[in-house]
Amino acid sequence: MTMNAATISFSFPGLAPLAAERSNDSSPWEDHRAALQDAVREGTRVRREEPLAAKTTLRVGGAARLYAEPISPADLATLLRVARARGVEIFALGRGSNLVVPDEGVDGLVVSLGHESWAAFEPRADGRVWVGAGLRLKNLCGLATKAGLAGFEFLEGIPGNVGGALRMNAGAMGGWMFDVVEEVRLISLAGDITTLPKAAMHVDYRHCAELHDAIALGALLRPASPAAGEAISRQIDVYRKKRHETQPREPSAGCIFKNPPGHSAGRLIDECGLKGERVGDAEVSPVHANFIINRGHATAGDVIELVRRVRAKVRAARGVELSPEVLLYGGKWEDKL
C-alpha cells in the first residue's frame, strides 16, 4: 500500500520478558496475550478464546484465539506492532454483518473498534462530516438526519459500521459508500497512521484494496446537500419499508453471493428452485434467495455446505459461477469450496 500522506508513528513499551511466567497457561497464545496486554495502557483488555458468533449477525462460528477492543489509536498501534513482531495475524472486526466465522474459530488477533471513542460524528463548518470507523451506519443516518445532512439515506438498514462499510464499499438503493467519501484515515498493520484521499484509493464492487492490509480509523464524508430533517426521514422510511418487504428477518449475513455481471444472484438461485434448501439449520431464505438464514442452531459448516450446494446447482443449471460476497473470516473460500 502507498502511504502518501503524513505518517504518524507511536512508540510502544517493549515486550515484557516476564509475561509468560506470570501465567500457568503455557500455550503460545497465552504468551502472545500476556505480551500484548503488557504493551498496552489505558484499559485496553486482550482476551483469549473470545466467542465470535454473538458478535456477528449470522451467529455461527468459533472463537478468536486473541481479541481486543483498543480504546485509543496509540493502543491500537501498539497491538498491531506487537502482534506483527510475534507473527500473529491480525483481523479487523466491524459489526460482523458480512462474515461467516469458521467453526474452528480464527487463529490470530481480532481487533474491534467497538469502544465508543471510535464512534465520532463531527460535522464541520464547511458542510463535511468526520465519522469514526466504529460508528454504526444506523447511527450515522440518525445523526445526519438530525443535523440536516442529506445523502447518507441509502445506508439505512445496512447493519455494519463505517469501517466495515469502507472495507466492503457497502452499497444499496443505487448508492455506494465511496460515493460520499472524501478521505479515509487508516492504520497499516505496521502501526503507521495515514490519510488517503479517495482519488488515491482503489475501490470497486464490495471491495477497497487499501483496506485489505490496513484498518480504517474514520473517514471524512461529503453530504449531498443540506436538507430538512423531515425530507431526509421520509426518504429513509421509503428505504426501510423496501427492505422490510424484501429481506428476511432471521439472522443472516446479508447477500451471500455477489451479483455476477448481467445477472441477479438472487434471481438465478430462485430460478433453480433453491428457496428453502436446507443444510442443518442453515436455509436459503424463502423470502430472498440470495440470503442464507440461520434457523437457530446452524453451524458454519452447515452454511459452507449450503453455499457449496447452491453454487453447484446454479453452475450446472445456468452455467454461471457464483462467488461469495460474504467473507470467510480468517480464511479463504477457495479452500472450502
Ligand X SMILES: Cc1cc2nc3c(=O)[nH]c(=O)nc-3n(C[C@H](O)[C@H](O)[C@H](O)COP(=O)(O)OP(=O)(O)OC[C@H]3O[C@@H](n4cnc5c(N)ncnc54)[C@H](O)[C@@H]3O)c2cc1C
Where along the sequence are the contacts to ligand X (CB under 6 A)? Answer: 57, 91-99, 113, 133, 158-161, 163-165, 167-168, 170-172, 211, 215-216, 247, 252-254, 327
Kindly tell me which of 141 and 172 has the beta carbon lying closer to ligand X: 172
Of the candidates 182, 191, 158, 183, the one whose C-alpha atom is nearest the C-alpha of residue 172 is: 158
In this complex, which beta carbon is closest to ligand X, that of residue 37 or of residue 294?
Answer: 294
Minimum CB separation from ligand X for residue 135, in Å? 10
Shortest CB 291 distance to ligand X, Å = 7
Smallest separation (angstroms) from ligand X to the CB of 209: 12
Q: Which residues pair with 294 in a beta bridge?
A: 282
Alpha helices of 23-93 — where are they, by DSSP H? 28-39, 73-85
Residue number, 16 or 259, with CB nearest to ligand X: 259
Minimum CB separation of residue 91 from ligand X in Å reads 6
Which of 181, 216 has the CB closer to ligand X? Answer: 216
Q: How many whole angstroms separate alpha carbon 333 and alpha carbon 337?
A: 6
- Distance in Å, CB of 162 to ligand X, minimum: 7
How many beta carbons lie within 10 A of that of residue 317, not counting itself? 13
Q: How far is the CB of 217 from ligand X (least distance, A)?
A: 7
Residue 318: CB minimum distance to ligand X, A: 24
Q: Are 20 and 30 in contact (CB under 8 A)?
A: yes
Note whether 110 and 91 are within 8 A (CB). Answer: yes
265-293 as b/e, with b when 16 or more CB fall inside 10 Å?
bbebbbebebbebebbebbbbeebbbbbb
In terms of CB distance, is 212 or 315 closer to ligand X?
Answer: 212
Give the three-class secondary structure for 78.
helix
The region that residue 57 occupies, defined by phi over 0 for left and psi between -120 and 50 for alpha, beta otherwise, is alpha
Distance CA 24, CA 16 (A): 16
Q: Are 87 and 108 in contact (CB under 8 A)?
A: no
Instruction: Name which of 33 and 95 has its Cβ closer to ligand X.
Output: 95
Cell of 28: 503460545
Nearer CB in complex with ligand X: 73/159: 159
Task: Give bridge partners of residue 38 from the DSSP assignment.
Answer: none
| Distance from C-alpha of 322 to C-alpha of 305, rounded to nearest angstrom | 14
Tell me the C-alpha distance between 237 and 232, whole Å: 9
Report the C-alpha gap between 119 and 136 in whole angstroms.
7
CB nearer ligand X, residue 80 or residue 211:
211
For the bound state, the minimum distance from the C-beta of residue 310 to ligand X, rounded and expressed in Å, comes to 17
Identify which of residues 57 and 233 has a Cβ nearer to ligand X in the complex. 57
Q: Among all chains, which residue has been given the C-alpha cell 449470522?
A: 58
Q: How far is the CB of 110 from ligand X (least distance, A)?
A: 9
